[in-house]
Structure 1
Amino acid sequence: MGKNMNMGIIGAGVVAERVINASNNHPRSNIKAIYDINTDRLREITEKYGLKSVDSYNTLLEDEDIDIIYLAVPPKYHYPIAMDILKADKHFICEKPLANSTDEAKEMYKVAKDKNIVHGMNFPTVYMKAYEKIEELLAEGFIGDLVRVEFQGYFTHWPRPWQQNDWITSREQGGFVREVVTHYIQMTQRLFGNIEDVSSFIDYPENPQISEKSIIARGMVKGVPVLINGVTDVGMEEELCFKIFGTEGSIYLKNWRELWIATKGTALEKLDIKEENHLVDLLDNVFRAIAGEEAKIIDFEEGYKTHMIIEKLLGEE
């Protein structure tokens, strides 16, 4: 079964709480300690889950018993902390996006590549059963020849009610392109290859500190169009849909988990997919990779390539 894995978490926000719950549901995972600059939030989460806190993230990096660091701070702070984690030669899971700029992401990837460590990212959809079924359908030739990939995202509010923090609506770090579209760029490139020839029409509010209101964009993957359409503050319930169109069949991934398929002349049919906790699967894959076993890891190279496309979409390259 393998040895137990001790984890240190940097950042005590919503994501950290999800990681804690996933760790509690994995028989080999143990959270040794957690750090956050916000001492009130740190006290709240450690008391809630019975965890130990530390007063510096360097304490986690210096602890020889800690196998893995999970970095769950806002994107602006990924790079400086990540470089310290890499210097400490700790196995490393990073939240997305990888960094706050392509240059930072590239350096993180290059340094991690030269280290004898496992470096992975939390792109949750890839660890879901619906995604595994998409891979299976594509391998079977269900869609025939690929003719188009689309992502549509309609947001009732941005930020959403559960994402009230200082950075999620900022133009520097936040916005739905960085926070949501990132997932679907990563999936597209993992399934079909690198997106090229990106053109983007993006609408920003008058306030230069606030993130985008809408985007219409196009890229190409292996000669096939990739279309992106997103808008905030619409009068409807939030809806996300990732669409793969082929000459023989089509696949829709709706709202992260719902998988629908159709063939020529048939209506979309919802498949019965039983989802599990994707973070438990992520941890399990990281543990297997550390043991030298075959594992599904979204590494920093994939994160860097995803970040390049996001900056092109935002007009920041």
Structure 2
Amino acid sequence: MTRDTLALGIIGAGIMGERMLGVLAGPDAGSVRVAGIWDPSEAALARIAARYPAVPRLADADALIAASACVYVASPPASHLGYARRAAAAGRSLFLEKPLAVDVAEARRFVDEADIRGAVNFPFAAAPAVARLVRWIAESVVGTPRRLTIAVAFAHWPRPWQADAANWLDARAEGGFTREVVSHFLFLARRLLGPLASLEGHADFPQAGRAERAIEATLSAGGVPVRLRGQVGGTDLADHNTWTLEGDAGTIRLRDWSIAERMGPDGHFVAAEDALPNDRARLIALRGQLDGVVRMAHGEPHPLATFAEALNVQEIVESLIAA
């Protein structure tokens, strides 16, 4: 007996909402269908209508929620929990874009009170390169972890493909690369090593009202020391990042989102034989996330980031930004 196709509604017609539509409108949507999409911006909905004319465009958030079995909230961060509560009150399951929120106290209340099936979109939960890192750790390539280093750099912020959302992505209130990018690598540390704890850090805000341009911090993940540094500038690449785990037996890393590498005897990193460029790996991860959404909505075990994991990441991110 096959189960019904999951009706997934999307709140937010920005980059992430459109990426989700791109998979759902293709041949690999699996057991998920688009219930509809809504965004307060008429221009954003017009763009969706031109590219995906068959996708229902609902009148408002409540109409979208009513038409859905599960709601994907892909709006700017400060609005996440408002929509989440409305969907939860209607008995819908939830898939929230990260970060969980920007107000830590509000997020804690939500997680404490939430009695629903839900998860948060951290694609590393289904990324092929992360699966390779997990296998290497299980095979004792690293041994006992000694330290983790997270480094991110950007030629400019926001990145070129985010220009249309610069009004909030480059605002201190809910934007910045720490929330948008660093959070992914903190989630990875949390998932593979254990709970995160902040020790000390400093964020640089050289322009009033704008997002940070640099950050330095030390923290821990499952007791493993973590060094974090990030900056806008210092690279010609739109987006460059490394997540490097050193142990008493060896060193592995994730580079530029999708390349799993291990250090050879000569001290140079060698990519895994199955490494994929990010555009291909991202699509595989998103399909894996959708499979997880179906499992989550039906109360089955899934690999998606839990509300508790996302809250832990948010607590660290907001403490670093405040510092």
**TM-score normalised by the chain length of structure 1:** 0.93
Matched, 1:214 2:214: yes
Structure-1 residue corresponding to 2:315: 308
Matched, 1:152 2:159: no
Task: Confirm or deny: 8 A CA contact 1:198 1:312 kept in the other structure.
Answer: no
Q: CA deviation at 1:230?
A: 0.5
Q: How does 1:10-29 map to 2 (within 5 A)?
A: 10-24=11-25, 25-29=28-32
Unmatched tracts of structure 2, length 5 or more: none
Q: CA deviation at 1:16?
A: 0.7
What CA distance in whole angstroms lies between the structure 2 residues aligned with 1:214 and 1:279? 29
Structure-1 residue corresponding to 2:294: 287
- Name the count of aligned residue pairs: 310
What CA distance in whole angstroms lies between the structure 2 residues aligned with 1:109 and 1:46? 35
What CA distance in whole angstroms lies between the structure 2 residues aligned with 1:58 and 1:293? 27
Cα gap change, 1:267 to 1:286, in 2 (>3 Å): same
Matched, 1:34 2:33: no
| RMSD over aligned Cα atoms | 1.6
Structure-2 residue corresponding to 1:184: 185
Of 80-89 and 167-176, more deviation after overlay is shown by 80-89
Structure-1 residue corresponding to 2:63: 59
Structure 2 letter corresponding to 1:82: A
Structure-1 residue corresponding to 2:135: 136
Task: Confirm or deny: 8 A CA contact 2:70 2:297 kept in the other structure.
Answer: no
Of 230-239 and 141-150, more deviation after overlay is shown by 230-239
Unmatched tracts of structure 1, length 5 or more: none
What CA distance in whole angstroms lies between the structure 2 residues aligned with 1:5 and 1:224? 40
Cα gap change, 1:222 to 1:72, in 2 (>3 Å): closer
Structure-2 residue corresponding to 1:82: 84
Task: Confirm or deny: 8 A CA contact 1:36 1:42 kept in the other structure.
Answer: yes
Q: Secondary structure at the match of 2:160?
A: coil
CA offset digits 1:137-176 (Å, max 9, x no partner): 1122210111100111111000111111210000001011
What CA distance in whole angstroms lies between the structure 1 residues aligned with 2:296 and 2:182? 27
Of 267-276 and 223-232, more deviation after overlay is shown by 267-276
Task: Confirm or deny: 8 A CA contact 1:171 1:212 kept in the other structure.
Answer: yes
Q: How does 1:91-102 map to 2 (within 5 A)?
A: 91-102=93-104
What CA distance in whole angstroms lies between the structure 2 residues aligned with 1:87 and 1:146? 43
Q: CA deviation at 1:265?
A: 4.6
CA offset digits 1:256-296 (Å, max 9, x no partner): 00111025555311112243521111011121233343321
Q: Secondary structure at the match of 1:110?
A: helix
